[in-house]
Amino acid sequence: MATAVKKPLAELFSDLSLITDLPRRIGEGWDGLLVRLGLTRVVIYHIKFNNHGQLEDMIKDGLDKWNIQNIKEPVSKRAAAFLEALRAQEMVPLAEELEEEYNFNEPELVESTPDVTEDPRDTSADTSIVYTREASGDIMNSLDRPKNDRSDPTENGPDINGDFPLRDYQMEIAQDGLKGENSIIWARTGSGKTRVAVYIMKNHLDNNPTGKIAFFNTTMTLLDQQYEVIRKFLPKYKHQIMKFSGVEQNEVTLLSNTQHFRVCVLTPMTLEKYLAEETVSLDLFSMLVFDECHHTRKKEPYNQIMKYYRKLLQDSTVKLPQILGLTASVGTERACNVDDAEKSILELMARMNVHKIATPRINRKEYTQMFPEPEKHSEVMKDRTTDPMRDTIEDAMGRLETWLQDKLCDLDKNVHKLLGEIPDKMRMEQQYQSWLSRLMGALPRSEELTPEIKHQAIVIAEHLTMYQTALSVNHTLCMKDVLEHLYHSSLKYKILEGGKKNAVVISNSSRNNTDEDNTGSDNTGVVNTGGDNTDVDESGNDETEITCVSLYTSVTKKLEILSKNDEYENPNIVRLRKMVDKNFEEKGKDSTFIVFVEQRESAVAVSKYLTEKSSFAKCCFLISAQSTADGDGKQSQAEYNWVVQRLLSKQINGLVATQVAEEGLDIPACNFVIRYNQSSNEISTIQAAGRSRAMGGTVIDFANERKHRQEQGNVMKLTLMNQALEMVLGRPVDSIRQEVNKRMDSITKTEAEEEERSREAGRKNKTQGNFTLRCLRCQEVAVSSPDIRRYKETNYIVVGRDFYKKAKRRLKKKVTCYENMTKRYKVYCIKCGSDWGAGICMRNLFFAVLKIRQFIVRDDDTEKEYFGVPWSVIPHTVQTMTEEDFSSVAALDKLIEDAPDN
C-alpha cells in the first residue's frame, strides 16, 4: 500500500495553518499552550464559554506573535518546540495528528529571513518563507500571490517594506483619497477597490502618527474577511489592527482599547452603540471607510453613523474624519427618470459629505480590458402541464380559507372585509402573502372575536402561511424539498405537539366520506394525529373530526406518494441542472460557477440536488451568518471559511448562495453565474453579474415571468444610473459641492426636528403604570409588568415565578453569547407552543428574556391594547434590574418544563 505524502513542514506555519486550521483544532487550553511556548507578553482576555469565534481569534493572534518572535529559528526547531508544548499541555492527540500530517523528518529548509527589528510588529511573518500557492492557501490569495509567481506585480501583496503597487486605473481612483478629500470609489466587483482603500489607509497612517481609521462592514462574513485582508496588506501596523463585531465582546470594549489600535474593523451597529452611550465620539477617528457605501440611506446603519458626523459638522472646533466610500453601484432608489436618478446620487453624496466620485476615466481602456462585461442570457421558467403536488396543496388551502369565511365573516367587520379580498387564484404570488400578513395582523386586534375563535383563526392562518411557502418551494425545488419544508414547518408551528389547542376542527364527516386522494392513486382517508377525535354515536355510525392537523397529515401522505413518481418532478430544477452541465461542457471541466437563489432553504436544497444529479457540479451552499426570526438557518464564519477554502483548493467547483455572496466576498473568478428565480434591485443585478469575473464569463437569468419583468426594470434603472453618473461627473466640482452642502443642511435640519419630536413623544408617553402581556396566539395571560425588569436597556427579563409555570424551554442548536449573557434556550408557551423569547444564563442563573412582538400588550389603566409593537411603543416605564432582582431569580429553572428535543 502506498504511503500517504506528508505536507512540507513549512506549511505548519503558513497563513492558512496559523489563521484557520490550528486555532480551530487547538480550542480550549490555548492560554496555557502559549505560556508554555514562552509567549509571556500575550494579553489573555477573559473568554466566556461557547464564545468560539473570539476564542479562535485570540489563538490566531497568539500563534502569529509567537511565530514572529521566533522567526529567526529554523522551521524544524519551531515545529519541535510546538509539538513539545502540545504534549506538555496534554494535547497529545493533536501532536500525533500533526506528526502524521506533516513531514517532521524533512531536510532543513533554507529560509529567507529578514532582519528582525526590536519591535516585532515591524516585521511580517508572511514574508519569511517563500510558499507555493497550495501551501499558503489563505483566503486572500486572489489578492496576494507568492513571490516566485512571475505574473503582474500589481496582483502581489506587500513587499518586505510593506509597500504594494497599484494598477494605473487603481492609482487614478485613489487620488482624491490620497489628497485627504472625501470621496466615493465606484468600480465593478473584483476590480480591487479594497486594495485601493488599504493603499489610501496606509498613506494616511504613515503621514498621521496619531491617526486612527474605522473600516466598516455591514455583515460579519465581510467583517472577518476584510479584517484579514487589511492585516495582510498593512504588515507594519498588523498588531495595531483590531476587530469588533459587537456580538461577543464581553469585557473587551472599543473604549478600553483606543490607545492600542490604529485601524478598527467593525460593524456600524457596534460603533453606533458606543456613540449612543456617549462613551466615544466620532472625532476619535481621523478616517472612516465605508465598504459597500450604497447602504448609506434612510434608516440603515451606515446612515446612522453619518448622522453623528453631520451633528459634529455643526461644531467648527471639531476636526472631522476623512470619508471614503467603496461601491460597485451607487443605486437610484425609486428614480423613474434621469433627473430623479441624479438627485438620488447627490442625496447619497450629501449623506456622506462627499463631493467627488472616483471612477476610472483616464485609464478606462485598461479597466474595461481587464474587466469585460460578461455575456448575458435570460430564460423564462415553465410551469408543469400536470402538477398534482400544487393541486393537493391548493385544495388544502381552499378548505382552510372556507373555514375562515364560514366562522369569521359575520363576527368582525374588519376581518369580514379582509376575507372578501382574498386572492384565492394567486396563492403563490406576493399578493396572497401580503393578504395573509394583513390577516395575521388583524386577528389579534379584533375586539369582536372571542379569545378562543381568535386563537383558532391564528392557527388556521399559520397553516395557510406554511402551505403558501410550500407552493413556492414546489415552483423552484424538488418534490422532496416540499415535504422537507412541511416537516420543518410542523416543528416551527408545533403542529403535531400542540394537542387539541392547535387542532382546529375544520369539518365533521363520516369515515366513509373522508377526503380522497385527488390524484386517484391513493384512497387513504384521514389519519388521526395530534388531537383528532373519532366518536361513535348511539346508532353505531362513527364520525371523524377533520382538523387542520389531520389535514396536514393527509396532505403530507399524499405528497409523499406523488414524490415517488418522476413524471411530476419540477421541470425548472431539471432545467437548472442542464444549464450547469452545458456550461461545463462549453467552458471546460475546470470551470467555477455560482447559482444565486432567494431563500436559505433553497440554497441548501439546490446545492444538494446539483451535487447529486449534475455530471460535473460539486458544490456547497453559502448563506448569511445572521439568524432568521426563528433563530435558525444561519452559517457560522468557520463554516463559511471551510466552504471558501474548499472552493480555492478545487475540492468543489461551485457555490449555491443567497444574496450574502453578492457583495464583497473574496471568492475566485467564476466562468458562469445563474440567477435562479432571484431578483431584487439594480444593485443586486450588478453585484451578481460582478461574480462572473473570468474572461468569457456568462450570466444567466432564469426566472418566472414576474421576476423577468422586475429584472427588466432593474436593467432600465442601471441605464438611468449610468446616465445620471455621467451627468454628476460632468458637473463642475464647485457646483456639486454647493448642491451637496445644500442637501446635507436640509438632511441635518430634518433629523434634528425628528429627534426633538421623538424626545417630546417619549416625555409625554412614558409614565408609571401597569400592563399585562397575553400570548398573541392562544390569548393566555403570561405576565404582568410588576414581574418584568429592564436589563441594559434592551433586555426585558421576567422575575415573577408564575410565568415560569406557564412556559417550557428547549435547548437551542447553537448557543450564542451577547451582553455577558449566554442564550441557551428558546422559551415557549406551554399551551400553544408560541415562541415567547429566549432562555438566558448569566451569573449561573436562568431567566427568560421576552420577545415582545409575540404578545398582546394591554394597558391596565386605559384598557388599550398593542399588537406586534416594540418595547419603545409601550407607554409605561419598566423597572431596571437590581442586584436584589438577581437574587430573586434563583432556581427559576426548576419551575419551567423542558420540551423534548426535535
pLDDT tens-place string over residues 572-581 = 999 999 999 9
| Residue of 17 and 204 predicted with greater confidence | 204
Q: How far is CA 397 from CA 437, 463, 482, 561, in A?
A: 15, 8, 15, 19
Tell which residue, 72, 58, 80, 69, has the closest CA to residue 9: 80
Instruction: Write out pLDDT tens, residues 213-247.
Output: 999 988 777 787 888 889 999 999 988 998 887 55
Mean pLDDT, residues 68-95: 77
The pLDDT of residue 626 is 61
In angstroms, the CA 205 to CA 210 distance is 8
Per-residue HEC secondary structure of 699-734 comes to EEEEECHHHHHHHHHHHHHHHHHHHHHHHHHHCCHH
Using the predicted structure, report yes or no on whether residue 116 has a pLDDT greater than 60: no
Q: Which residues pair with 16 in a beta bridge?
A: none
The separation between the first and the last C-alpha atoms of the chain, rounded to the nearest angstrom, is 45
Q: Which residue has the higher pLDDT, 344 or 508?
A: 344
Quick one: DSSP state of residue 16? I
CA 647, 653, 655 angle in degrees (round to 5)?
75
Question: pLDDT tens across 584-597, in order?
Answer: 999 888 899 999 99
Confirm if 435 and 427 have CB atoms less than 8 A apart.
no
pLDDT for res 359: 94
Integer CA distances (angstroms), 890 to 321, 587, 798, 800, 884, in order: 48, 65, 12, 11, 11
Which of 322, 229, 216, 323 lies closest to 266 in space, CA to CA? 216
Each residue's pLDDT tens digit, 765-799 = 567 788 999 998 888 899 999 999 988 778 899 99
Confidence at 647, pLDDT banded by 50, 70, 90: confident
Span 856-871, mean pLDDT?
86
Grid cell of 658 as nine digits: 443567497
Q: Report how far residue 199's alpha carbon sits from residue 207's, in angstroms, rounded to the nearest whole number.
A: 13
- Look at residue 526 in the predicted model and tell me its pLDDT: 37
Looking only at the bridges linking them, the beta strands covering 654-657 and 788-791 are unpaired
Closest by CA to 428, choosing from 370, 383, 375, is 383
Cα(368)–Cα(188) distance, integer angstroms: 10
Among 17, 113, 154, smallest CA distance to 144 is for 154
User: With 90 as the cut, is the pLDDT of residue 617 above it?
Assistant: yes
| Stronger pLDDT, 435 or 104, i.e. the higher one | 435
Q: pLDDT band for position 4 (50/70/90)?
A: low
| 480-536 pLDDT per residue, tens | 999 999 998 888 777 877 566 778 888 775 444 444 444 434 433 333 344 444 443
